[in-house]
Amino acid sequence: MDRISRTTSIRLTLLAVLSAMIVGAVIIVLSDITSLREGDFGTAFGTVLDAYSALFIGSFGSLRALSNTISSTTPLLLCGISVAVAFKAGLFNIGATGQMLAGGMFSLWVGFSMHGPGIVQIPVAILAGALGGALFGAIPGVLKARTGAHEVITTIMLNNMAAFLVLWLLKTTIFQREGRTDPISKLVSPEGILPRLFWFLDDRKDLLAHSGFYVAILAVIIFWWLLQRSTVGFEFRSVGLNLDASQYAGMHTKRLMVLAMMISGAFAGMAGASEVLGTYGYASQNFAGNIGFDAIAIALLGRSTPVGTAFAAVLFGALQAGGRQMQANTDVPIDLIVVLRALIFMFIAAPLLVKAIWRVKAAQTVEGQSFRGWGA
């Protein structure tokens, strides 16, 4: 990243987004079977324009859209940082979903057990979320350090287990809301709800963005400090670049592995806390959604740097917010967003391809390998 000029990198990213939008348009047109059968290309192309304008208006077109974008960005950013921390230490954390669920349940428990004051309860609940995520993240870290089990496999398995564990917990008397038979949790006490971001606009209750966003921004700063200013961060990067050399230099590589997974899990756990305490105010079975997987794309897009990850998270968050608008306004399903994300991801991952398509002349990019074998 350092060796590519910044303008080229920004230009390549924009071209990648543009390429993805073009392929997306083709997909929209080709999937409009009804119009195509009648040979009505005008309607099909009109759908593309409607869909894309709804996408933009729904993400940045109004204060409300902006608020939705912020809401969607917050957990994506926290989980993106989670994955990025692990990447820096040479670990591929696919388990952000599970860690987010674990963190969310921890902070939920604090959220409905305590009854204020908010100034104490909210930080405690968020820290509980970080703790829950860290503990859940420690499992694949310890397994890797002690047995060599690859984290790609263990984290995927732990994600699935966490999902069922949450489903079960939500039906126990500790978590289940009184008088309900479906898996839904008690409500977080009013003092523990994260304050609205636009609290000063009293008449705009539709602006749902909450102060979890500040947690996310703080996380970006912590991530930057960790990487650039702390000894542990230096050791993470060293282990990530060359495990054997770091070991030879006297670093406790196994301990670092576990620590990296715990810090990674803590960020994901805070994402869970932010969703439970801010977005929902309770937990249902699927409060983590696909955020953990999207986070992988975000970290990769942002090349695991603090600023890059933040921009990638905003891009994905905007697509998410706009996608809901698009689904409401047109008959294009929101799943298009997943396609667009995959395409953007693919085009950015292959700068050579984008350069070939758009005939951009630029210095050779430097590509690192995220994968260093299955361990053992």
Interacting residues toward other proteins by CB under 8 A: 27, 31-34, 92, 143, 147-150, 152-154, 156-158, 160-161, 164-165, 167-168, 171, 293, 296-297, 300, 331-333, 335-343, 345-346, 349-350, 352-353, 367-374, 376
Which residue number, 346 or 362, has a Cβ lying nearer to other proteins?
346
Q: Which two tokens stand for residue 214?
A: 């500040």
Q: How far is the CB of 278 from other proteins (least distance, A)?
A: 27
The nearer residue to other proteins, 53 or 365, going by C-beta atoms, is 365
- Nearer Cβ to other proteins, position 43 or 147? 147
The CB density around residue 33, as the number of other CB atoms within 10 Å, is 9
Give the DSSP letter string of 211-280.
THHHHHHHHHHHHHHHHHH-HHHHHHHHHHH-HHHHHHTT--HHHHHHHHHHHHHHHHHHHHHHIIIIII
Query: Mapping DSSP to helix (H, G, I), strand (E, B) and coil, where does residue 374 land?
Result: coil
Cβ contacts of 120 within 8 Å, gap of 6 or more: 114
CB of 348 to other proteins, least distance (A): 9
Give the bridge partners for 196, in sequence order: 210
Which lies closer to other proteins via its Cβ, residue 259 or residue 296? Answer: 296
Looking at 242-372, list the stretches that DSSP marks H as alpha helix, in order from N- to C-terminal side.
243-248, 253-274, 291-301, 306-329, 336-349, 351-358
- Identity of the residue, 64 or 254, whose beta carbon is nearer to other proteins in the bound complex: 254
For other proteins, the closer of residues 171 and 177 by Cβ is 171
| Cis amide linkage into residue 117, ω under 30° from 0 | yes
Task: Please state, in angstroms and rounded to a whole number, the distance separating the CA atoms of residues 210 and 232.
Answer: 31
Nearest to other proteins of 153, 218 (CB atom): 153
CB of 133 to other proteins, least distance (A): 18
Task: Give the nearer residue to other proteins in terms of CB position, either 18 or 350.
Answer: 350
Provide the minimum distance between the beta carbon of 182 and other proteins in the complex, in angstroms, as a whole number.
14
As measured in angstroms, the least distance from the Cβ of 214 to other proteins is 30
Smallest distance, other proteins to C-beta of residue 25, A: 13
Give CA 130 to chain center in angstroms.
15
User: From the CB of 76, what's the least distance to other proteins, in Å?
Assistant: 14
CB of 342 to other proteins, least distance (A): 4
Instruction: Give, in order, the Cα–Cα distances in Å from 80 to each of 10, 95, 162, 316.
Output: 19, 12, 19, 11
Tell the smallest beta-carbon distance from residue 216 to other proteins (Å): 23
- Nearer to other proteins by Cβ, of 159 and 211: the residue is 159
What whole-number distance in Å separates Cα of residue 136 and Cα of residue 272? 12
- Name which of 175, 21, 43, 36 is nearest 104 in CA terms: 175
Closer to other proteins by Cβ: residue 240 or 281? 240
Q: How far is the CB of 203 from other proteins (least distance, A)?
A: 36
**35 Cβ partners below 8 Å, 6+ apart?**
41, 43, 44, 47
* Closest among 251, 217, 221, 220 to 236, alpha carbons compared: 251
User: What do you get for the CA distance between the two ends of the chain, in Å?
Assistant: 30
In sequence order, the 6+-apart residues with CB closer than 8 A to the CB of 118 are 191, 192, 195
